[in-house]
């Protein structure tokens, strides 16, 4: 008998002790009470308040102007090398010349992580990814890394730029995974990200830039742009 | 600091014992109580954490609803535990994850050592995992010549100091920044003394980034394992958990068998109540959902993912309807933050991997009552732990139950390992006698009459009672005599 069989047998032998079937948890009842009929912009405002409280920077812009804003922000932060996935819809919009004019070299991800590990850890200043969506309640980004946009892009470089469409913000995590039927198919790695990495492990003093990015910069696109 | 002396794990029934013996518990508690520095640092830290948690639940009705839901999810999951474990295994396997089962810490270590040897690993970087502490993973790897490096800042500090975590969420909570500054200056090559917290964190970041890059294997714990999708969920703030599960070519996750839930949506409320209860955060920086190794078309992530499912006494707790509630725990640490005993003695005095109220009810199943029979007595039964528990584990009830199990007369087929370990025939006889006297009015009257007449004979030293209190002495007049005089 294997350890597996012995463990399962022990658990099964003792299962009937619980007399009544335990009721199925009622999640809808809990979350329905918090349903808000809010507009996209109200939801964006809640998301923004949340994630800014975790030290992320948020910039709201028009859909057509975010590449320009990203180039400007890279220049402001002194980013000399920006790593990104060139095959994504967002990646295709980036124009190397526009970035070069600001002193930033665009570097499309190429090869396996093993091929570029040293550069990834020591040379790249910033990574750029799209967000799949976000969560208003907590100020959280939803990232689904993919072959076109590997997971270390949002982890290893000291600055992480994220592009978010305001229309994809959900009220809660529960709403997001229900509405998009996450249980029907998850990527190998899905992530919720709320701010740059941090720790309070030394005397409960909060410090940013623990092991992941030191800065998280969110570019949110809306139909109304920065006016909102 | 009253750091416990690290020891080499020697095994009883294949399990590592506490790194300090149960017999020395009283001594350690006294030492801790008399350490003013330790007491003030824990007091301050616990006050801070309690206030932060309270601020996360401004709406009492939302807390009530979320706690009930979280309790329901954990109880529902446990009611189907064997089926869910099989479903989890099937879905993880389908996703390309290797699933291993271990009844004891030794088995778990052997499984992981085998994986490490197959990959000729020299260095394993570790995300925070209390189960890896429970099985003394670092010792087992080091004994085999493989480095096991903690990468959570708190765990890194504790490992550097040769200590053990004193809190399950904030491992280095017993250390001041000055102590950490001295530790870094002494142990990290090329580092000068600085007690600037940002600078200290940056030192840790630099040292550990190199290790993430080099290590062949990353180890992590698991906060929730989702059966329906075959997904491992990890909660963290620092990004080291993501590093350990993303950068090295092999990722090994280890978890207790109780951490499984049926549906992905079940993690939403549990995750919310976990971070709010633990550190008073609305959400952690990262919530990492891992459903498999790197696919053929993917560019990064581990090429191999393993999950080790550990029993280590959990199936014993599972066998009893009341004790099973112990397994509802989501390891937030709120019970220790609110515990008047933990606040005064700190985490090391318990001598177990899991300190505080949860440690007192879970350790007896992992280590047997021979080692732990005094643990359930480290409680005032004030009830604070049960009140703040996000999944409503009736911790005080379980403490009373375990005290009973520890004191019960030895049984030929005990339901718990070490049952009756605290049994003392004389004490048991005295209590039985007292119960008999108390149940018979005539005998009780005679006893109190004798007690008040011979009160001068009460000893001035009354075992543990008089260590810090005045001796107990019967009153010169019984209540019934005083009432009679008044009438």
- Reported ipTM: the value is 0.96
Question: Which residue range is the domain that position A186 belongs to?
Answer: 45-225
Contacts of B89 in chain A (CB under 8 A): 4
CB-CB under 8 Å, A212 with B243: yes
Asked if residue A7 is part of any domain, the answer here is no
Q: Check if the beta carbon of residue B168 is closer than 8 Å to that of residue B225.
A: no
- Averaged over B80-100, what is the pLDDT? 97
Q: Which two tokens stand for residue B302?
A: 């581990």
Q: Check if the beta carbon of residue B158 is closer than 8 Å to that of residue B254.
A: no
What region does B365 belong to: left with phi over 0, alpha with psi -120 to 50, or beta? alpha
* Domain total in chain A: 1
Asked if residue A33 is part of any domain, the answer here is no
pLDDT at B445: 94
Least confident of A91-95, B35-39, B87-91: B35-39
The per-residue DSSP string of B369-416 comes to HHHHTTGGGS-----HHHHH-TT---HHHHHHHHHHHHHSPP-SS-SS
Over 90: is that where the pLDDT of B14 sits? no
pLDDT at B412: 76
B347–A contact, CB cutoff 8 A: no
Asked if residue A134 is part of any domain, the answer here is yes
The CA-CA-CA angle for residues A199, A202, A203, to 5°, reads 120
Query: What band does B267 get if pLDDT is binned at 50, 70 and 90?
Result: very high
Minimal Cβ distance to B69: which of A30, A182, A198: A30
The CA-CA-CA angle for residues B47, B48, B49, to 5°, reads 95
Query: What band does B19 get if pLDDT is binned at 50, 70 and 90?
Result: very low
Minimal Cβ distance to A117: which of B213, B268, B292: B213
Q: Which two tokens stand for residue B188?
A: 């990290």
Q: Which of B355, B73, B91, B213 lies closest to A113 in space, CA to CA?
A: B213
Greatest mean pLDDT among A24-28, B24-28, B89-93 lies in B89-93
B282–A contact, CB cutoff 8 A: yes
CB-CB under 8 Å, B297 with A11: no
Mean pLDDT, chain B, rounded, equals 93
Q: Domains of chain B: which residue ranges?
A: 27-315, 425-486
- Averaged over B321-338, what is the pLDDT? 97
Least confident of A161-165, B21-25, B221-225: B21-25
Query: What band does B8 get if pLDDT is binned at 50, 70 and 90?
Result: very low
Write the CB contacts of B446 (distance below 8 Å, at least 6 apart in sequence): none
pLDDT digits (tens, 9 = 90+) for B278-306: 999 999 999 999 999 999 999 999 999 99
Where residue A191 sits, what CATH number does that domain have?
A: 3.40.50.10420
Residue B220's φ and ψ, nearest 5 degrees, are: -140, 165
pLDDT at A85: 97
Q: Which fold has domain B27-315?
A: Rossmann fold (3.40.50)
Q: Which two tokens stand for residue B161?
A: 């100091």
Per-residue pLDDT of chain A (228 residues; tens, 9 = 90+): 899 999 999 999 876 555 566 788 999 999 986 667 889 999 999 999 999 999 999 999 999 999 999 999 999 999 999 999 999 999 999 999 999 999 999 999 999 999 999 999 999 999 999 999 999 999 999 999 999 999 999 999 999 999 999 999 999 999 999 999 999 999 999 999 999 999 999 999 999 999 999 999 999 999 876 654
Residue B422's φ and ψ, nearest 5 degrees, are: -95, 10
Over 80: is that where the pLDDT of B7 sits? no
Asked if residue A5 is part of any domain, the answer here is no
């Amino acid at each position: 008998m294997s350890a597996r069989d012995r463990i399962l047998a022990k658990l099964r032998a003792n299962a009937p002790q619980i007399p009544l079937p335990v009721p199925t948890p009622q999640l809808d009842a809990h979350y329905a009470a918090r349903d808000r009929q809010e507009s996209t912009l109200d939801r964006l405002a809640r998301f923004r308040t949340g994630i800014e409280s975790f030290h992320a920077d948020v910039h709201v812009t028009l859909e057509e102007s975010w590449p320009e804003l990203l180039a400007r922000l890279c220049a402001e932060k002194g980013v000399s090398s920006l790593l990104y996935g060139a095959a994504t819809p967002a990646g295709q919009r980036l124009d190397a010349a526009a970035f070069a004019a600001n002193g930033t070299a665009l570097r499309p991800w190429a090869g396996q992580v093993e091929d570029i590990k040293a550069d990834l850890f020591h040379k790249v200043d910033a990574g750029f990814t799209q967000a799949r969506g976000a969560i208003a309640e907590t100020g959280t980004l939803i990232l689904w890394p993919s072959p076109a946009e590997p997971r270390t892009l949002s982890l290893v470089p000291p600055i992480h730029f994220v592009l978010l469409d305001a229309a994809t913000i959900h009220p809660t995590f529960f709403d997001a995974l229900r509405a998009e039927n996450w249980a029907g198919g998850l990527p190998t790695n899905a992530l919720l990200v709320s701010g740059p990495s941090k720790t309070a492990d030394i005397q409960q003093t909060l410090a940013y830039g623990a092991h992941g990015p030191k800065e998280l910069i969110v570019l949110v696109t809306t139909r109304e742009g920065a006016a909102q | 600091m009253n750091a416990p002396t690290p020891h080499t794990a020697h095994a009883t029934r294949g399990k590592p014992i506490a790194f300090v013996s149960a017999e020395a518990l009283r001594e350690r508690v006294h030492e801790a109580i008399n350490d003013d520095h330790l007491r003030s640092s824990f007091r301050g830290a616990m006050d801070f954490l309690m206030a932060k948690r309270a601020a996360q639940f401004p709406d009492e009705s939302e807390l009530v609803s979320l706690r009930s839901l979280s309790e329901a999810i954990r109880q529902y999951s446990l009611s189907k535990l064997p089926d869910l474990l099989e479903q989890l295994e099937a879905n993880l396997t389908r996703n390309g994850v290797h699933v291993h089962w271990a009844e004891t810490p030794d088995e778990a270590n052997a499984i992981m050592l085998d994986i490490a040897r197959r990959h000729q690993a020299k260095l394993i970087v570790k995300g925070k995992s209390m189960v890896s502490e429970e099985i003394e993973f670092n010792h087992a790897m080091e004994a085999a010549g493989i480095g096991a490096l903690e990468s959570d800042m708190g765990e890194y500090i504790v490992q550097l100091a040769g200590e053990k975590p004193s809190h399950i969420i904030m491992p280095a909570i017993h250390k001041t920044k000055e102590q950490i500054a001295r530790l870094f200056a002494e142990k990290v090559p090329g580092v000068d003394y600085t007690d600037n917290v940002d600078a200290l964190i940056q030192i840790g970041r630099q040292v550990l980034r190199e290790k993430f890059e080099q290590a062949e294997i990353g180890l992590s714990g698991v906060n929730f394992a989702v059966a329906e999708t075959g997904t491992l969920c990890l909660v963290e703030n620092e990004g080291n958990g993501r590093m350990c599960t993303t950068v090295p070519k092999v990722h090994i996750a280890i978890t207790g068998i109780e951490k499984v839930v049926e549906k992905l949506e079940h993690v939403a409320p549990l995750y919310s109540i976990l971070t709010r209860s633990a550190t008073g955060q609305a959400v952690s920086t990262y919530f990492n959902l891992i459903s498999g190794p790197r696919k053929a078309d993917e560019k990064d992530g581990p090429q191999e993912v393993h999950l080790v499912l550990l029993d280590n006494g959990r199936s014993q707790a599972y066998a009893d309807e009341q004790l099973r509630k112990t397994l509802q725990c989501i390891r937030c640490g709120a019970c220790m933050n609110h515990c008047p005993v933990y606040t005064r003695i700190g985490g090391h005095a318990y001598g177990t991997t899991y300190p505080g109220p949860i440690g007192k009810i879970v350790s007896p199943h992992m280590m047997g009552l021979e080692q732990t029979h005094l643990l359930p007595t480290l409680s005032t039964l004030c009830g604070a732990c049960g009140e703040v528990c996000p999944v409503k584990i009736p911790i005080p009830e379980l403490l009373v139950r375990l005290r009973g199990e520890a004191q019960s007369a030895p049984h030929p087929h005990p339901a718990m390992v070490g049952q009756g370990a605290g049994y003392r025939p004389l004490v048991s006889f005295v209590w039985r006698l007292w119960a008999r006297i108390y149940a018979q009015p005539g005998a009780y009257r005679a006893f109190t009459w004798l007690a008040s007449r011979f009160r001068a004979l009460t000893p001035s030293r009354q075992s543990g009672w008089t260590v810090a209190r005045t001796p107990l002495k019967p009153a010169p007049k019984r209540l019934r005599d005083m009432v009679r005089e008044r009438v």
